[in-house]
Amino acid sequence: QQQVKQSPQSLIVQKGGISIINCAYENTAFDYFPWYQQFPGKGPALLIAIRPDVSEKKEGRFTISFNKSAKQFSLHIMDSQPGDSATYFCAASMAAGGTSYGKLTFGQGTILTVHP
Amino acid sequence: DAGVIQSPRHEVTEMGQEVTLRCKPISGHNSLFWYRQTMMRGLELLIYFNNNVPIDDSGMPEDRFSAKMPNASFSTLKIQPSEPRDSAVYFCASRRGQGYTEAFFGQGTRLTVV
């Protein structure tokens, strides 16, 4: 119930294209869904996050789409650039209540390569 | 702010030796996480502290692993004895509170057990 499943494992996109990464969860108590970006040799860093009271959040070229009934959420990167090449992780946590509140659980990660 | 500070950045040790990884969270952050990253298993949560108290250690692989947080500004992850399968990058992360707040990661410690 604590798992977050992420797909695809790797993704190759041409510059200017749209990158889409998907995640699914089981625990309906999750109420915070961040996406992290990781460059080689660095720790993950927060990219964008959403709470389940909204279905979409957009920050620049990055958009999270959230489907509460399907227990799925996705990251869309518009106009993908070579500088976006990195590993992307979705995550989920419960902000309040339960024995695991605050625990941040990550998906397996997606290696994105954007070709020039 | 210097961010989350981990030491050492790289550690090479022989099988059977004790390894201690260190983490200094961001001042004012009261939640601390230890993660292990490998190609095969991705980012695995090992243990999670809140206000210096271990809340969830269900991800600790076995008794060879132990973690402590003696105060709000320091945590250690110890492996004794180390094995080659422990080779991975270990990350420490901290966040303020337990709600809808960003977790900040350190640079990681790359551990190689030979």
Question: Which residues neighbour B102 within 8 Å (Cβ) at sequence distance 6 or greater?
Answer: A34, A46, A49, B95
Given a contact cutoff of 8 angstroms between Cβ atoms, the answer to whether A111 and A38 are in contact is no
Tens-place pLDDT, residues A94-111: 876 555 667 888 999 999
Residues of B with CB under 8 A from a CB of A: 4, 31, 33, 35, 41-43, 45, 48, 50, 55-56, 91, 93, 95, 97-100, 102-108
Q: Which of A46, A88, A94 to probe the B interface (max B CBs under 10 A)?
A: A46
Chain B nearest CA to A83, separation (Å):
20
Tens-place pLDDT, residues B2-17: 899 999 999 999 999 9
Q: What are the two backbone dihedrals, phi and then psi, of residue B84, each rounded to the nearest 5 degrees?
A: -55, -35
* Number of continuous H segments (helices) and E segments (strands) in chain B: 0, 11
Tens-place pLDDT, residues B102-113: 899 999 999 999
Given a contact cutoff of 8 angstroms between Cβ atoms, the answer to whether B92 and B106 are in contact is yes
- Percent of the residues in chain A that have a pLDDT greater than 70, as a whole number: 92
